[in-house]
Structure 1
Amino acid sequence: MKMTGGQALAHSLRIEGIDTLFTLPGIQLDYFFDALWEIKDEFTIFHTRHEQATGYMADGYSRSTGKPSGFIVVPGPGVLNTTAALSTSYACSSPVVCITGQIDSHLIDQGVGALHEINDQVGLLAHLTKLSERGETPGEIPAMMRRASRAIQEGRPRPVSVEVSPDVLATVADVTLLEPETINHRNAADIDSDLIEEAAKLLGNAESPVICAGGGVLTAEAWEEVNELSEILGAPVLMTSNGRGIVDERTPRGLSGRFPTNELVPNADVILAIGTRFSMASNMGLGGGVTVTGKLIQCDVDRYEIGRNYPAEIALQSDAKLTTAAICEALRAHNKKRVSRDAELSDLKDRQTAGMAGMTWQAGMSNAIREVLPEDGIVVSESTQVGYFVQGGGFPVYKPRSFFTSGYQGTLGYGYPTALGVQVGNPDKVVVSVNGDGGFMYNVQELSTQAQYDIPLITLVFNDGLFGNVRRIQEQKYNGHSMSTDLNNPDFAALAELFGVTGYQVQSAAELKTTLSRAIADRKPALIEVQQPRTPDLASPFPMQQEPPRPVVELI
């Protein structure tokens, strides 16, 4: 069939089921957008005010729904603006497709200074994606998109990138579109029954087993199986920040945070790690790992993660849902009776709450959010003081896919646009975005996008006029040598109103609770600015020691 490269790309997206797109058009993509226009009713399309927001919104949409989505940006500086979002999607195993343009085919990598030219763009993006390809002719595009679609569905989902030059998008050629394909990414044949039997024997005879569950459980939609396994073993489920909500944290066996990690992991005789790289055994990014004395069974669809941070006694490279179900079945023949640990675990949770209660201000704000958020409400956290408290286990999470972080990337500024994507993917749920004033300003322009599409996200901006955590470190660890951390902020509530988003200002946890309740009831785009004490003046679970004075260097 005769069609342009742009039409081949648009129809291939439709065929592969990538029907939600976040875009920012530009000249190298004109033929593609013209083709999209012809079948625009097949897609849900949002355009943003900055390229980084296209990538973050796609990540939020895909992680919260489990469905693939795409973002479309121009090459060179356009796609470079999305790299923080791509690295976050990569860290958090998000099935996102980056669709970008190129310069004309005969100019690629020639260094002639064409508009938006960068060297080896496809190679650069390969470092941030599971697959990076270029369509050289219209006829190649359907197969390229099929490979991209398979990559985000098979094994561990991670972002992919495809690019097409404007001359290829404009060229008319014979193109054979592919038939839709259904991929069965769960194959019972991949389950090693002998290893399952070994794992069941080890777990069944354990005195104090612990299940460590990560984001891979949510990706595999294996939360029911993990809950069943926890019930069979009477074992606590220690959830990573990306795995929160697998088990309802109102129950004794649903736990998260450093405090229960430090108590449960060293005392476990057998640990089953499912869908997590088990980084708690190395350093967790905080300068010290947790002692592991028990035997580790590790289940992960990504073979490179097994044993990466601690040697696995039994390695199960397979789908988390099928594997956990198989272990549950095998345990029928091997599981010993155990005394209930619910009282012990409830006491542990109480001690965690008491230990975090010293952070009075953060606890008050976190409690205010939890008390009015519906059971199935969603929180997107950020790199800010209330965010750290929430991520650290101070905020109980009830449901799967109802709590999101930037994973090990710790991407400052990701929160607000990611939350917009989460709200787009979950239009009937209440979504709250927790931000500091520094991070929020990375994407403040997307207030325009929120208002334009009437996205009923509720955004909290905690304002202390500082890059607060850095300032705290400078003051408390580096002898008060503070620099580059003072912020000249606008009136955030007034700014939101100028964009058409309802703005509020509050001073206390009680006011936040009342105002958040009102915003939830209104179901309109809203921003609540919360006045925060200086971060260095807030209590912290990590007291700092002053560094010794540096040598005096006199060169003049």
Structure 2
Amino acid sequence: MPKLTGGQTVIESLKAQGVDTVFGIISIHNLDIFDSLFASQDSMRFIGGRLELGCGFMADGYARATGKPGVLITSTGPGAADSVGALGESYFSGTPILEITTNVEQEFIGTGKNSTHETKDQLAMLESVTEWAAAVNQIESIPDNLMEVFDRFQTRRPRPAALEIPTNLLGEEVDVEVLTAREPQVPQGDPNKVEQALQMLLKAKRPAIMVGEEVQMQGGVQEIIQLAEKLGAAVVTADGAKGAFPEDHPQSLGQILGRRIWGENPVQEWLGTCDVVVALGAILPQRSTTGVQLSMPKDLIHVLLDGDSIGKNYDATVPIVANSQAVVQQWLGAIGDQDVHKGSSFMDEIAATKGEIRKVLQETWGNELKVFETVREVTPRNTIFSLDPTVATSRASRCLDIYEPRTFMHPHGWAGLGFAFPAGIGAKAGKPDSPVVCVTGDGGFQYNFQELASCAQYGIHPVVLMFNDSAWGVLKRYQSDRFGEHRQYATELVNPDFVKLFESYGFEGTKVSNVADLGRALDNAIKSGKTHLVEVQTPDGFGSLR
């Protein structure tokens, strides 16, 4: 059994779990972790940021793009606190992030003596935005705690975890066993419920499959395509799952999103006319389901790893607490070579509904549709889009076709600004051969524009597609709708020269004001292989862009 410091135990345990990339910021309290990283540069890459919020979003983007956990290293007090926004987004979106942070020396924890960065109750703060959080009191327990975290990532709904280590333990040396990764026990569906659900699907004449965000993280896309084609079922994707079923597939009806910021969507009413809906890995959040009067049929099969969330917004006829990929594999095995297709009549209905959705978009969001058709024309199929919760993003969810899983990411959980750019950096770090386009606004970009320094320092090059209306665009519209155009307040913004900002970091930028120039500039930016700004001027709002 080797002698290792606490810092070495952290790094060696992460390596044993297959981690090869970590994000974060060095601090006086975590110096021993970084000394161990220095000694492991041949097998573990560190990507530093300028603020823990941005670093947390980098880890989130890395996880969403790769399907592997994102690891974040922070430090006591202010460092851990600055990461809370990113952990909250990860929790409600369902992504696996591990934050390893420090605390003051054990002799000072809870004493109120105001040692450097001492916090009233740091663990409670972390517990409020994580699925699991623990405080280490001895070096020997670090491997066990990390094993617990990575087991949870693979067997439960993906959500963040936090491990807090007193700084004095990181430099101390003890005999410690580093544990190797275990093969996960993937949760299978209860056989009786799986059979009950299968019989409902076989008897249904007009079934629909709703693919959810757990599928993005834990896989199953190919099995779902196979099941959909065997049944001849319609397929929609829930918020957070865009791309988890290819939107150019003839049975795809796109996203279920509609009303509120997402516009009119015929599929919202049509879904309720189906015989049965099987929701796979979709938590069905109120804001995009019952909150916008999404219609659902009486018979709902709900497969979800988080059993406590089943039945929150819709009653489930058959609740199955399991991994969605595993359940679909169980169904496919039971179907075998049987002909269970619902026939050409239902396929014709799916095609007609698809056409109606397209017609409504053309009539209501014609300009927006043209913008994102132009974006799609110049972006390769494997392009990863990282988006902020802006007007443009609400339109992209309906108007931008996505073909592959893990290539459309946005903060659908907490819906906080500042996600797109650092998450895009994390995605590009994890998928260097895929183009990454960050879709953001002038306000949201300024939450974390300091991470341009990380792009320059580590040679990570996403493209930034910014729609600049010199305002908090979503709020400006809401304010105008509620109080009138003459009562707009606090929504106008004064901005820097963004092109010069990019140039100050050694990058380039292009300003455009029409759709044709947008397409050419974005095409050139992607082909350049460098961090590049395409700033689209939209003084009259996104919908006015032509």
Residues 29-428 of structure 1 aligned to structure 2 (within 5 Å): 29-172=30-173, 174-186=174-186, 190-254=188-252, 255-256=254-255, 257-258=257-258, 259-279=265-285, 282-284=286-288, 287-331=291-335, 335=340, 337-357=342-362, 358-391=364-397, 393-428=398-433
Contact 2:230 2:339 in 1 (8 A): no
Q: Specify the code of the residue in structure 1 equivalent to 2:184.
A: N
Q: Specify the code of the residue in structure 2 equivalent to 1:415.
A: A
Q: Deviations over 1:474-499 (max 9, x none)?
A: 12211332111111101111210111
> What is the TM-score with the length of structure 1 in the denominator?
0.92
Q: Specify the code of the residue in structure 1 equivalent to 2:471.
A: L
1:39 & 1:292 partners in 2: Cα distance?
52
2:281 & 2:523 partners in 1: Cα distance?
35
Contact 1:234 1:340 in 2 (8 A): no
Contact 1:300 1:316 in 2 (8 A): yes
Q: Measure how far apart 1:337 and its partner are.
A: 4.2
Q: Measure how far apart 1:161 and its partner are.
A: 0.5
> What is the TM-score with the length of structure 2 in the denominator?
0.93
Q: What's 1:15 paired with?
A: 16
Q: Measure how far apart 1:197 and its partner are.
A: 1.8
Q: Deviations over 1:165-205 (max 9, x none)?
A: 12111222x23222312322325xx3322222211111111
Q: What's 1:553 paired with?
A: none
Contact 1:469 1:536 in 2 (8 A): no
Contact 1:504 1:527 in 2 (8 A): yes
Q: Specify the code of the residue in structure 2 equivalent to 1:33.
A: F
Q: Measure how far apart 1:417 and its partner are.
A: 0.5
Residues 286 and 394 (structure 1 numbering): CA distance in 2 closer, same or farther, change over 3 Å? farther
2:521 & 2:342 partners in 1: Cα distance?
49
Residues 286 and 517 (structure 1 numbering): CA distance in 2 closer, same or farther, change over 3 Å? farther
Contact 1:57 1:420 in 2 (8 A): yes
Residues 252 and 264 (structure 1 numbering): CA distance in 2 closer, same or farther, change over 3 Å? farther
Q: Deviations over 1:327-365 (max 9, x none)?
A: 233345693643343332233223222322333442232
Contact 2:248 2:401 in 1 (8 A): yes
Contact 1:205 1:335 in 2 (8 A): no
Q: Measure how far apart 1:445 and its partner are.
A: 0.6
Secondary structure at the aligned position of 1:504 is classed as strand
Q: Measure how far apart 1:286 and its partner are.
A: 8.1
Residues 373 and 286 (structure 1 numbering): CA distance in 2 closer, same or farther, change over 3 Å? farther
Note the residue ranges of structure 1 that are not aligned, 5 or more in a row.
Answer: 540-556
Match of 2:527 among 505, 515, 521: 521
Residues 472-487 of structure 1 aligned to structure 2 (within 5 Å): 472-479=477-484, 480-487=486-493
2:140 & 2:295 partners in 1: Cα distance?
55
Q: Measure how far apart 1:396 and its partner are.
A: 1.0
Residues 168 and 283 (structure 1 numbering): CA distance in 2 closer, same or farther, change over 3 Å? closer
1:97 & 1:55 partners in 2: Cα distance?
10
Contact 1:362 1:385 in 2 (8 A): no
Q: Specify the code of the residue in structure 2 equivalent to 1:43.
A: M
Q: Specify the code of the residue in structure 2 equivalent to 1:375.
A: R
Of the structure 1 ranges 479-488 and 190-199, higher mean CA displacement relative to structure 2 is found in 190-199
Q: What's 2:262 paired with?
A: none
Q: Measure how far apart 1:425 and its partner are.
A: 0.8
Q: Measure how far apart 1:419 and its partner are.
A: 0.8
Q: Please, what is the CA RMSD of the aligned residues?
A: 1.9
Contact 1:274 1:320 in 2 (8 A): yes
Secondary structure at the aligned position of 1:265 is classed as helix
Residues 179 and 473 (structure 1 numbering): CA distance in 2 closer, same or farther, change over 3 Å? closer
Residues 18 and 301 (structure 1 numbering): CA distance in 2 closer, same or farther, change over 3 Å? same
Q: Measure how far apart 1:433 and its partner are.
A: 0.6
Secondary structure at the aligned position of 1:178 is classed as coil
Q: Measure how far apart 1:21 and its partner are.
A: 0.5
Contact 2:388 2:440 in 1 (8 A): yes
Secondary structure at the aligned position of 2:107 is classed as helix
Contact 1:57 1:419 in 2 (8 A): yes
Contact 1:151 1:160 in 2 (8 A): no
Residues 283 and 441 (structure 1 numbering): CA distance in 2 closer, same or farther, change over 3 Å? closer
Q: Specify the code of the residue in structure 2 equivalent to 1:297.
A: I
2:192 & 2:210 partners in 1: Cα distance?
22
2:15 & 2:355 partners in 1: Cα distance?
50
Q: Measure how far apart 1:537 and its partner are.
A: 7.4
Residues 286 and 330 (structure 1 numbering): CA distance in 2 closer, same or farther, change over 3 Å? closer
Secondary structure at the aligned position of 1:434 is classed as strand
Note the residue ranges of structure 2 that are not aligned, 5 or more in a row.
Answer: 259-264
Q: Measure how far apart 1:535 and its partner are.
A: 3.0
1:134 & 1:303 partners in 2: Cα distance?
27
1:492 matched to 2:518? The reply is no
Residues 286 and 405 (structure 1 numbering): CA distance in 2 closer, same or farther, change over 3 Å? farther
Contact 1:201 1:334 in 2 (8 A): no
Contact 2:64 2:216 in 1 (8 A): no
1:339 & 1:141 partners in 2: Cα distance?
58
Secondary structure at the aligned position of 2:524 is classed as helix
Q: Specify the code of the residue in structure 2 equivalent to 1:103.
A: V
Secondary structure at the aligned position of 1:521 is classed as helix
Q: What's 1:544 paired with?
A: none
2:10 & 2:248 partners in 1: Cα distance?
47
Residues 75 and 260 (structure 1 numbering): CA distance in 2 closer, same or farther, change over 3 Å? farther
Share of identical aligned residues, percent? 30
Residues 283 and 69 (structure 1 numbering): CA distance in 2 closer, same or farther, change over 3 Å? closer
Q: Deviations over 1:292-330 (max 9, x none)?
A: 333011111221122222111111111111101212333
